[in-house]
Amino acid sequence: MIRVMQINQGEKFGGVSSMLFHLYQHIDRQQVQFDFVAPRKSSFSTCRSEIEEMGGRIFELKAGGSFIMKKLRFWKRLKDHINKERYEIVHINSGSILFNIQCALVARACHVRKIIVHSHNAGADGDMKQKLAQLCKPLLDIAATDFLACSHKAAQFMYVPRRIREKKYIVINNGVDTEQFAFSQSVRDEYRAELGISNDTEVILHVGRFSRQKNHGYLVRLFKKYTRKYPKSVLLLVGAGDLSDSIKELVKKLGIEDKVKFLGLRSDIPSLMAASDVFLLPSLYEGLPVVGIEAQTSGLPCIFADTITKEVDVLRNNCFISLEADADKWCDRIHAAASSRKDRESAAAKISAKGYSIQASAKTLLDCYLSR
| pLDDT tens, position by position, 248-276 | 999 999 999 999 999 999 989 999 999 99
Residue type, 262: F
The model's confidence at residue 123, banded by pLDDT at 50, 70 and 90, is: confident
What is the pLDDT, as a whole number, of residue 135? Answer: 87
Domain borders along the chain are 2-174+357-370, 178-353
Per mean pLDDT, which range of 7-16, 112-121, 353-362 is the poorest? 7-16
pLDDT at 313 over 90: yes
What is the pLDDT, as a whole number, of residue 224? Answer: 97
- The contacts found for 311-318 with CB under 8 angstroms, 24 or more apart, are 311/151, 311/152, 311/153, 312/151, 312/286, 312/288, 314/351, 314/354, 314/356, 315/347, 315/350, 315/351, 315/354, 317/342, 318/292
What is the pLDDT, as a whole number, of residue 130? Answer: 73
The model's confidence at residue 125, banded by pLDDT at 50, 70 and 90, is: low
Q: Span 6-18, mean pLDDT?
A: 86
More confident residue, 62 or 134: 62
- The contacts found for 215-221 with CB under 8 angstroms, 24 or more apart, are 215/282, 215/283, 215/284, 215/305, 215/323, 216/243, 216/247, 217/247, 217/250, 218/282, 218/323, 219/280, 219/282, 220/247, 220/250, 220/251, 220/254, 220/256, 220/260, 221/250, 221/254
Residue type, 100: N
What is the pLDDT, as a whole number, of residue 132? Answer: 80
Q: Which CATH architecture has domain 2-174+357-370?
A: 3-Layer(aba) Sandwich (3.40)
What is the pLDDT, as a whole number, of residue 126? Answer: 63
What is the pLDDT, as a whole number, of residue 9? Answer: 87
For residue range 217-228, list pLDDT tens digits in order.
999 999 999 999
For residue range 196-243, list pLDDT tens digits in order.
999 999 999 999 999 999 999 999 999 999 999 999 999 999 999 999
**Burial 268-302, CB ≥16 within 10 A → b, else e:** ebbbbbbbbbbbbbbbbbbbbbbbbbbbbbbbbbb
For residue range 93-103, list pLDDT tens digits in order.
988 899 999 99
- Give the Cα separation of 280 and 283 in Å (integer): 9
- Give the Cα separation of 86 and 146 in Å (integer): 19
Q: Cα–chain-centroid distance for residue 312?
A: 12
pLDDT at 127 over 90: no
261 contacts 234 by C-beta, under 8 angstroms: yes
List, in sequence order, every residue forming a beta bridge with 8; answer none if it has no partner: 93
Find the angle CA(28)-CA(347)-CA(342) to the nearest 5 degrees.
Answer: 165
Residue 143: which of 90, 85, 84 has the closest Cα? Answer: 90
Check for a shared fold between 2-174+357-370 and 178-353. yes
The model's confidence at residue 131, banded by pLDDT at 50, 70 and 90, is: confident
Fold classified for 178-353: Rossmann fold (3.40.50)
- Give the Cα separation of 124 and 97 in Å (integer): 9
Q: Span 36-64, mean pLDDT?
A: 94
Q: Backbone dihedral region of 116: left (phi > 0), alpha (psi from -120 to 50 degrees) or beta?
A: beta
